[in-house]
Amino acid sequence: MGKRFDVIVAGAGPAGAAAALRMAQKGLKVLVLERGDVPGGKNMFGGMLPGCPAAEELLAGFWDSAPWERHVVKRVLTIIAQSSSTSLAFEADSYDHPPYNGYTLFRPLFDGWLAEQAVRAGATLLCSTVVQDLLRSGEKITGVRAAGPEGDLEARAVVACDGVLSFLAEKAGLRPPFAPRHMAVGVKGLFRMPEELINERFNLVRDQGATCEFLGCTEGIRGGGFIYTQTETLSAGLVFHLDALKRSGKAPHELFERFLEIAPVRRLLKGARLAEYSAHLLPEGGYRMVSRLFTDGMLVAGDAAGLCYTNGLNQEGMNLAITSGLHAADTICEAFERGDFSSKTLGRYDARLREDFVLKDMKTFEKAIDWMHSDRLFSVYPQVVGTALEEIYRSDGRPKRRMGRIGRDALKGEVTVRELIADLVRGGRSLL
């Protein structure tokens, strides 16, 4: 490459591009390496970027120029049972005014745009380049080894934003190898549908968006389904815990095709045309699986650090990625001021994330992971809800029973009192 860089960022996703943009703005010479031929080309995100003040901190007027699709005003949770479905639809007026509470977007567009901002600020972007290894001098990370013509590239600091599988965090000894229970796999179809039809079907106007989550649609495997609205497309798919999927012996692509046939899903997707199919892993270990975030000469941000969580209702990751990228950048700028790239200075990154919502939220829902690993939540309870409500709402000339009785009967034989109490306690601990 023949040019010295201050910092090398591995990965041009939201964490990497945010970090690069910030550091370039502060005058550092930044090189971003991306394995796709364009930023976002390897990304299959089909979810929501939750409201993210760090974005405005990066660039004033961020949301006026960033390419996003719809702002989310409606969150729907649907519980699927054998012969019924139960939905809870939440809409808030406040979500319909800027700053918006969440955005749906396409990552090939969004990541491309964000990386372009970094390049405009002075960063160098090199695509089609896989980072193979780290360069070391003793314990200190001194650069990266890129596959192909670039070879060894040295820098004062490295920011590993190489995504969920982060081989760099593993090579740096910042995390142990993953186990299937720490990871989920998402499979997703992107479906085309005219904008007016999406608005009509999801009861939206203008660029309002909705997110729909489905519980009980995974044939008993721990996981769930989703449909997210973009402007003229829908993202629909399933997420499974890998350990549960492995044990089930079932194929995710077949589960996906059966999911599309479930009545409430089929009704929402009617007339939509499949345009792309994709799959990816998600960090699902929660707070306990967040990697060590720094070592001499290197920081880890975004999915690479395991900064991603779900508690059943919130699923956040992209906002954590952008915010962690920003903090990584500020920490490295500080390291340049001090001329010290050891853990002593870089450890400030960990403190910054702890002071911010990033690690606070992950800590708040630390125990949610235990709740999300209760098999009955995905198999027994959706059916219990359906069975009970089907009788409660039924009018067929027969005398009605008291609701407590109906509930007890729906649970009988499916779950013992002891199991029910254990699940309630676990759920309470994780969320309340």
Partner 1 sequence: MIVDEIFEIVSYKIDAEAHIRVNQDICHECTHRACTFACPARCYQWNEERERIDFAYEACLECGTCLLICDREALDWHYPRGGFGVHFRLT
Site of interaction with partner 1 (CB under 8 A): 35-37, 40-46, 106-108, 127-130, 147-148, 164-165, 178-180, 183, 185, 187-190, 233, 235, 242, 245-246, 249-254, 256-257, 274-281
Q: How many CA atoms lie within 13 A of 162 on its CB side?
A: 26
CB 278 within 8 A of CB 42: no
| Neighbouring residues of 254: CB distance < 8 A, sequence distance ≥ 6 | none
Which of 79, 239 has the CB closer to partner 1? 239
Which of 147, 262 has the CB closer to partner 1? 147
Which of 41, 347 has the CB closer to partner 1? 41
Q: How many CA atoms lie within 13 A of 385 on its CB side?
A: 17
107-117: b (≥16 Cβ within 10 Å) or e: bbebbbbbbeb
The minimum distance between CB 11 and partner 1, in angstroms, equals 11
**Distance, CA of 374 to CA of 377 (rounded, Å):** 6
Which of 43, 319 has the CB closer to partner 1? 43
* Strand extents, DSSP E, 139-203: 140-146, 152-154, 157-160, 183-192
Which of 87, 128 has the CB closer to partner 1? 128
The minimum distance between CB 79 and partner 1, in angstroms, equals 25
Which of 5, 256 has the CB closer to partner 1? 256
**What is the DSSP-derived secondary structure letter of residue 79?**
E
From the list 75, 64, 62, 65, the residue with the least C-alpha distance to 102 is 75
The minimum distance between CB 299 and partner 1, in angstroms, equals 21
One-letter amino acid of 279: A
Compute φ and ψ for 17, nearest 5 degrees: -70, -40
Which of 44, 58 has the CB closer to partner 1? 44
The minimum distance between CB 377 and partner 1, in angstroms, equals 21
The minimum distance between CB 183 and partner 1, in angstroms, equals 5
The minimum distance between CB 315 and partner 1, in angstroms, equals 17
Which token pair is 364?
């708040």
CB 95 within 8 A of CB 107: no
**Distance, CA of 246 to CA of 221 (rounded, Å):** 10
The minimum distance between CB 264 and partner 1, in angstroms, equals 20
The minimum distance between CB 414 and partner 1, in angstroms, equals 27
Residue 14: its H or E element: helix 14-25
Which of 69, 350 has the CB closer to partner 1? 69
**Distance, CA of 30 to CA of 34 (rounded, Å):** 13
